[in-house]
Structure 1
Amino acid sequence: MRVGVPIFLFLAAAGFHTALTASLESAEKEDTFGEEVGLEQLSELQKRDQEEFEAAQMSEAVQDENTEEENDTQEEDMNRDGNVEADQHESESDEDVDGMRQKREHLEANVEEADETTNLGSPRLPG
């Protein structure tokens, strides 16, 4: 019996060692598998994020171009409107000048008539 106890202890220790090693290897494989799956999922998420980011940049660029074109169009419209307003202002100024000229001519004509009327009504002194 003295010989059987050490052999039993040896076999028990060897079995325990084998079981412990197998358990550790299994856990290690699960961790590695979990990390690989996690890395794959992370890689896929990064790819999706990158694609979404690029798509967002493209849409922003298109919006910027559209906004720039709209601004250019608005500037052209404003310039055109400014030119039309300036032309209208000039024509209004011309009309004002013409109107003032007509008033002046009318007033001058009235003054001349008044002078003639005054000269006719008063006797002329020989001079």
Structure 2
Amino acid sequence: MRVGVPIFLFLAAAGFHTALTASLESAEKEDTFGDEVGLEQLSDLQKRDQEEFEAAQMSEAVQDENTEEENDTQEEDMTDRDGNVEADQHESESDEDVDGMRQKREHLEANVEEADETTNLAEVE
């Protein structure tokens, strides 16, 4: 029986070692599987985030284009208004010039008429 006890303890220890090793390997496989599933879920989340980010960028780009178009339209309107104002000013300046010339002509004509009358009076005397 002295020989049987050590053999029995050796076989029990070997069996325990085999069971423990199999258990550890199983746990490692589960962790690896969990990591792989986690990576897949993580990559799905990253893909969604990337798509949302790209959609937001495109939306901002469209808004920027609309804003630029509105600014261009406003600038064109302002340019048109400025052009109209300048044309109106030029027109009114032209009108003033014409009015001034009329007044000068009328004044000169009046002076000429007075000079003629004076000459006629001088001739009569």
Q: TM-score, normalization: structure 2? A: 0.71
2-side partners of 1:12 and 1:52: how far apart?
Answer: 59
Deviation at 1:22, TM superposition (A): 2.1
- TM-score, L = length of structure 1: 0.70
Give the count of matched residue pairs.
Answer: 120
Q: Deviations over 1:88-120 (max 9, x none)?
A: 343244335514642673487379659968997
Aligned twin of 2:119:
118
Shift of 1:44: 1.0
Deviation sequence 1:32-76 (CA, Å, 0-9, x none): 122112101211111111111210121022112201211221121
Deviates more, 1:32-41 or 1:98-107: 98-107
CA distance in 2, matches of 1:10, 1:18: 12
**Measured at CA, do residues 9 and 95 of structure 1 come closer, stay the same or move farther in structure 2, by a change above 3 Å?**
same
Cα deviation for residue 81 of structure 1 reads 3.5
Change (3 A) 1:115 1:9: farther
CA distance in 2, matches of 1:74, 1:65: 14
Percent same amino acid at aligned positions? Answer: 98
Against the structure 1 CA distance between its residues 115 and 6, is the aligned structure 2 distance closer, same or farther, given a 3 Å change threshold? farther
Specify every segment of 5 or more residues in structure 1 that has no aligned partner in the other structure, as ranges. 121-127
